[in-house]
Amino acid sequence: MTSAAVPPPHLDAALEHEGQRVPVRVTTRGRLSLAVTFLGPATTFAAGTVFSRLVFERDGKEMALSRARLTEAPRPGAAGVLVFVDDVYDCAALVDEGQVRNLLAFFGELPLVLAQREQISTEFRAFVADLNYDLTVYKKFFDQQDRVFEQEPPTVAHAAQHALLARAGDEFFGYLDRMLDRLAELVQGFTPEQHERHGYYFRQQLWPFIMGSAFMQRTNLKPRGYAGDAQMMDMIYDDAFQGRWVFNKLMHKHPIAHPGAQAVRNRRVLVPQMLHAARVGRPTPLRVLSVACGPARELADLFKAPRDCAELSITLLDQDDEALQTALSTVKGLETRLGTRIEARVVNQSVRTLLKEADLAARLGRFHFIYTMGLFDYLTPPVARAVLERLYALLEPGGLILVGNYHVSNRSRYYMAYWLDWALYYRTEDEMLEMARRLPGASATVSFDDSRCQMFLRVEKPS
Ligand SMILES: C[S@@+](CC[C@H](N)C(=O)[O-])C[C@H]1O[C@@H](n2cnc3c(N)ncnc32)[C@H](O)[C@@H]1O
Do residue 137 and residue 89 come from a single domain?
Answer: no
For the segment 215-225, the average pLDDT, to the nearest whole number, is 96
For the segment 215-226, the average pLDDT, to the nearest whole number, is 96
Q: Identify which of 19, 15, 23 has the alpha carbon closest to the alpha carbon of residue 42.
A: 23
Residue pLDDT, tens place only, 228-253: 999 999 999 999 999 999 999 999 99
pTM to 2 decimals?
A: 0.81
Please report whether residue 312 resides in a domain: yes
Domain of residue 415 covers 261-460
Do residue 95 and residue 244 come from a single domain?
Answer: no
Q: For residue 73, how far is its CA from the centre of ligand 1 (angstroms)?
A: 51
Q: Nearest residue CA, atom 16 of ligand 1?
A: 375
For the segment 283-302, the average pLDDT, to the nearest whole number, is 95
222, 255, 288 - which closes a domain: 255
Q: Are the C-beta atoms of residues 295 and 230 closer than 8 Å to each other?
A: yes
In this structure, how many other beta carbons lie within 10 angstroms of the beta carbon of residue 266?
18
Please report whether residue 181 resides in a domain: yes
Please report whether residue 112 resides in a domain: no
Dihedral in degrees, nearest 10, Cα atoms 339, 342, 348, 351: -130
Q: Identify which of 247, 251, 217, 250 has the alpha carbon closest to the alpha carbon of residue 147.
A: 247
Q: Identify which has the larger pLDDT, 404 or 76.
A: 404
Do residue 337 and residue 428 come from a single domain?
Answer: yes
At residue 423 the predicted structure's pLDDT band, cuts being 50, 70 and 90, is very high
Do residue 362 and residue 310 come from a single domain?
Answer: yes
In the structure, which protein residues have their CB atom closer than 6 angstroms to any atom of ligand 1?
Answer: 228, 230, 233, 292-295, 318-320, 323, 350-352, 373-375, 378
In this structure, how many other beta carbons lie within 10 angstroms of the beta carbon of residue 428?
14
For the segment 263-275, the average pLDDT, to the nearest whole number, is 96
At residue 96 the predicted structure's pLDDT band, cuts being 50, 70 and 90, is confident
Query: Amino acid letter at 347?
Result: V
Dist CA 267 CA 260 (whole Å)? 11
Mean of per-residue pLDDT scores for the chain: 94
DSSP state of 320: -
1 pLDDT above the threshold of 60: no
Please report whether residue 109 resides in a domain: no
6 pLDDT above the threshold of 90: no
Q: Are the C-beta atoms of residues 444 and 458 closer than 8 Å to each other?
A: yes
Number of domains in the chain: 3
First to last CA, the chain: 57
β-strand pairing of 367-372 with 395-406: parallel
Whole-angstrom Cα Rg for the chain: 28
Do residue 315 and residue 384 come from a single domain?
Answer: yes
Dist CA 339 CA 306 (whole Å)? 8
Dist CA 141 CA 241 (whole Å)? 19
Q: For residue 367, how far is its CA from the centre of ligand 1 (angstroms)?
A: 19
Please report whether residue 6 resides in a domain: no
pLDDT value of position 40: 79
pLDDT value of position 43: 72
Write the CATH number for 439. Answer: 3.40.50.150
- Alpha-carbon 71 to chain mean position: 41
4 pLDDT above the threshold of 70: no
At residue 112 the predicted structure's pLDDT band, cuts being 50, 70 and 90, is confident
Please report whether residue 88 resides in a domain: yes
Do residue 375 and residue 341 come from a single domain?
Answer: yes
Residue pLDDT, tens place only, 347-371: 999 999 989 888 999 999 999 999 9
Burial of 110 (0-12, 13-18, 19+ CB in 10 A): exposed
Which atom of ligand 1 approaches the CA of 228 most closely? 1
Q: For residue 259, how far is its CA from the centre of ligand 1 (angstroms)?
A: 20
Q: For residue 337, how far is its CA from the centre of ligand 1 (angstroms)?
A: 26
2 pLDDT above the threshold of 90: no
pLDDT value of position 140: 97
Q: Identify which of 131, 113, 114, 133 has the alpha carbon closest to the alpha carbon of residue 123.
A: 131
Do residue 190 and residue 310 come from a single domain?
Answer: no
Please report whether residue 328 resides in a domain: yes
7 pLDDT above the threshold of 80: no
138 pLDDT above the threshold of 90: yes
Partners of 58 in the β-ladder: 61
Do residue 276 and residue 330 come from a single domain?
Answer: yes
Please report whether residue 433 resides in a domain: yes
Residues, the chain: 463
Return the SS3 of 319. coil
Measuring CA to CA, how many Å separate 199 from each of 18, 101, 239?
A: 49, 26, 26
Residue pLDDT, tens place only, 18-77: 999 999 999 999 899 999 999 977 678 999 999 999 999 988 899 999 999 999 999 888
Write the CATH number for 59. Answer: 2.40.10
